[in-house]
């Protein structure tokens, strides 16, 4: 059976290839080990983020005494966008390819990147030192309304990540490609799903998760402001890479699709961007 949707077809093809790996016990063992580590860290990082923000960062494991906790928390906020963006540069990509010793570092680069990003998120939300100040806690109808908005924001983030390429966003591309002994094939320029409405749905959905929490504290406000600024500015670097990689295709797409706020009119099909 042929799957028309390239997002699903690509993922199914990768999974099928990984399930029928060529011989090579050492290669398979490395792939499986990195896969387990990647998805364990990914799940732990996302879970820590969902839970910590649900309580407005009022509950965490950090025990740094104040006022030093302010510096520690600021460092936790800054470390994610700095490292996350640096690893997407040319030198960062070359570093990723060298972090796994041996001949498989380049193939495993996306998996290594996902492990690092997940570990950063886990550190941020598990090691945060709460201020102990709670400004507002939703109750009754407002609690259920904000919780529904928070859940919807996470669903949007999941949908945007799927539209961008689930295998890349989750880190599976690297270890599954090594398992199948094939060269990692990155998704084409994303233009389907939420990318038909705005160019940066992942960053917008991520920003929405920051502002739809049912508990508000100074901690959550600091995080929300910092990472909203990041979500508005960081995609500019991503779009420079896309412009260099896709040329006129990206320029036409950028001219037709807004950056972060969708137009009221429904998006038109853009064959040139497919």
What residues pair up with 137 in beta bridges, in sequence order? 215
List pLDDT tens digits, range 189-201. 999 999 999 999 9
User: Kind and range of the H or E element at 136?
Assistant: strand 136-137
Both tokens of residue 82? 């700095």
CA dihedral (69, 124, 47, 168) in degrees, to 10, reads 170
Structure tokens at 181: 């002994």
Q: How far apart are CA 15 and CA 9, in angstroms?
A: 10
* CA atoms within 13 Å, Cβ hemisphere of 218: 8
Domain locations in the chain?
6-262
DSSP string, 157-225: HHHHHHHHHHHHHTSHHHHHHHHHT----PPPPP-SGGGGT-S-HHHHHHHHHHH--SEE-HHHHHHHH
Q: For the chain, what is the mean pLDDT? A: 91
Q: Which two tokens stand for residue 97?
A: 């390819």
Question: Between these two residues, 145 and 233, which has the higher pLDDT value?
Answer: 145
- Once rounded to an integer, what is the mean pLDDT over residues 53-65? 94
Q: Is the peptide bond before 67 cis (omega within 30 degrees of 0)?
A: yes
pTM, rounded to two decimals:
0.89
pLDDT digits (tens, 9 = 90+) for 61-110: 989 999 999 999 999 999 999 998 899 888 888 898 899 888 999 999 99
Sign of CA dihedral 206, 208, 212, 218: positive
User: How many CB atoms are closer than 10 A to CB 175?
Assistant: 28
Specify the higher pLDDT residue, 128 or 97. Answer: 128
For tokens 């570093």, the residue is: 95
DSSP class of residue 12 equals: H
* Phi, psi angle pair for 155, to nearest 5°: -65, -40
Terminal-to-terminal C-alpha distance of the chain:
22
pLDDT, tens digit, 9 for 90 and up, residues 170-218 = 999 999 999 999 999 888 899 999 999 999 999 999 999 999 999 999 9
d(CA 206, CA 231): 8
| pLDDT tens digits, one per residue of 29-52 | 999 999 999 999 999 999 999 999
Q: How far is it, in rounded angstroms, from Cα 182 to Cα 177?
A: 5
For residues 13 and 107, give the distance between their C-alpha atoms in angstroms, rounded to a whole number.
17
The continuous run of DSSP H or E covering 230 comes out as helix 218-246
- What is residue 274's predicted lDDT score, i.e. its pLDDT? 42
Q: How far apart, in whole angstroms, are the C-alpha atoms of residue 167 and residue 189? A: 14
The secondary structure of residue 151, as a DSSP letter, is H
């Amino acid at each position: 059976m042929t799957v028309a949707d390239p997002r699903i077809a690509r993922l199914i093809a990768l999974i099928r290839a990984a399930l029928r790996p060529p011989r090579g016990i050492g290669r398979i063992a490395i792939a499986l080990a990195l896969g387990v580590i990647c998805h364990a860290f990914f799940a732990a990082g996302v879970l820590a983020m969902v839970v910590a923000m649900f309580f407005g960062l009022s509950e965490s494991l950090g025990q740094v005494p104040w006022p030093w906790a302010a510096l520690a928390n600021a460092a936790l906020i800054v470390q994610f966008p700095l490292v996350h963006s640096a690893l997407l540069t040319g030198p960062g990509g070359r570093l990723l390819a060298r972090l796994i010793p041996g001949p498989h570092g380049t193939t495993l680069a996306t998996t290594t990147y996902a492990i690092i990003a997940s570990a950063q998120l886990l550190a941020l939300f598990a090691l945060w030192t709460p201020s102990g100040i709670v400004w507002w806690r939703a109750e009754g109808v407002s609690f259920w309304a904000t919780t529904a908005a928070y859940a919807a924001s996470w669903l949007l983030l999941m949908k945007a990540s799927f539209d961008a390429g689930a295998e890349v966003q989750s880190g599976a591309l690297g270890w599954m490609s090594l398992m199948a002994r094939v060269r990692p094939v990155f998704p084409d320029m994303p233009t389907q799903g939420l990318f038909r409405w705005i160019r940066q749905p992942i960053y917008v959905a991520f920003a929405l998760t920051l502002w739809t929490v049912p508990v508000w504290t100074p901690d959550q406000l600091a995080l929300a402001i910092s990472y909203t600024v990041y979500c508005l500015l960081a995609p500019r670097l991503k779009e420079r890479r896309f412009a260099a990689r896709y040329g006129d295709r990206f320029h036409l797409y950028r001219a037709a699709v807004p950056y972060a706020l969708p137009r009221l009119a429904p998006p038109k099909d853009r064959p040139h961007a497919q």
